[in-house]
Structure 1
């Protein structure tokens, strides 16, 4: 009995799509001097700030070891400010600088530039996004401590 075929695997379709989307974003983000992960951090902060490093990690599904260097680079670029919480020194709060807030307006056009503004395509993409959110939530619920295959 033959094993699973690559093109039939959901994981490969998701992996390929993720790489294609990230590559498509790259030239648009280069105009803003941002990487894709930096853009994601800024998107969270444009929605809600200040927030803690832990909250950013939860929203982006990233650990602090991955986030810390990203935040240092964003701070060096003058886009965010990191500071210890006044109420709990163990917590680091992240907030936008004026320059970081101003970048939101320049970045607002990126989704339309990338995907266009066709209403039927937008509806299809929204449905795909919603399905992916459901799949992700289900996988997180079923495999909180995923173990390697023996």
Structure 2
């Protein structure tokens, strides 16, 4: 297999694995009546505590008004709350609530369980190498994205 064919195969595998992992984790969202997009917004709010609606809008690649609608639904559901920034009352921060953290934890647990299932066939050496390889690829990806 040529280098180009290998890269094409890697891209397809990463894309399909990502879709399958997301799909299995998102089964839980039905219980909470959350859309996948609302969950992505919730993840950003969790990853960056105190994110503003403007920042969230940029990360979701959505209009500010659309993002505000998503935040409204998440807040009405008790997943997040808005809080005015102490130093500048015009800025509104998004803060996680326990219910939001619970959903994220349940989805991650479901994803971990699925990943465990799909990697169960690997040898112990393959299992021990995989995290380092993926972390290295992720690092390069983050370095290239920041440029």
Change (3 A) 1:122 1:39: farther
Contact 1:22-1:36 within 8 A present in 2 as well: no
* Paired residue secondary structure (1:90): strand
> Which 10-residue stretch deviates more, 95-104 or 67-76?
95-104
Contact 1:25-1:36 within 8 A present in 2 as well: no
Query: Which structure has the highest helix share of the two?
Result: 2
Determine if the alignment matches structure 1 residue 90 to structure 2 residue 90.
yes
Change (3 A) 1:98 1:68: same
CA distance in 2, matches of 1:25, 1:44: 16
TM-align CA RMSD: 3.6
Contact 2:82-2:92 within 8 A present in 1 as well: yes
CA distance in 1, matches of 2:87, 2:115: 43
Q: State the Cα distance separating 1:94 from its structure 2 match.
A: 0.9
Gaps of 5+ in 2: 1-6, 120-126
Q: State the Cα distance separating 1:116 from its structure 2 match.
A: 1.9
Partner of 1:50: 50
Q: TM-score, normalised by structure 1?
A: 0.58
CA distance in 1, matches of 2:21, 2:107: 16
CA distance in 2, matches of 1:32, 1:110: 15
Larger relative contact order (CA 8 Å, sep ≥ 6): 2
Q: State the Cα distance separating 1:37 from its structure 2 match.
A: 2.7
Determine if the alignment matches structure 1 residue 26 to structure 2 residue 30.
no
CA distance in 1, matches of 2:19, 2:48: 27
Q: State the Cα distance separating 1:109 from its structure 2 match.
A: 0.9
Q: State the Cα distance separating 1:14 from its structure 2 match.
A: 9.1
Q: What is the number of residues matched between the two proteins?
A: 129
Which of the residues 133, 141, 144 maps onto 2:142? Answer: 133
Which residues of 2 match residues 1-150 of structure 1 at below 5 A? 13=12, 17=16, 19-58=19-58, 60-63=59-62, 64-116=64-116, 118=119, 119=127, 120-135=129-144, 137=145, 141=147
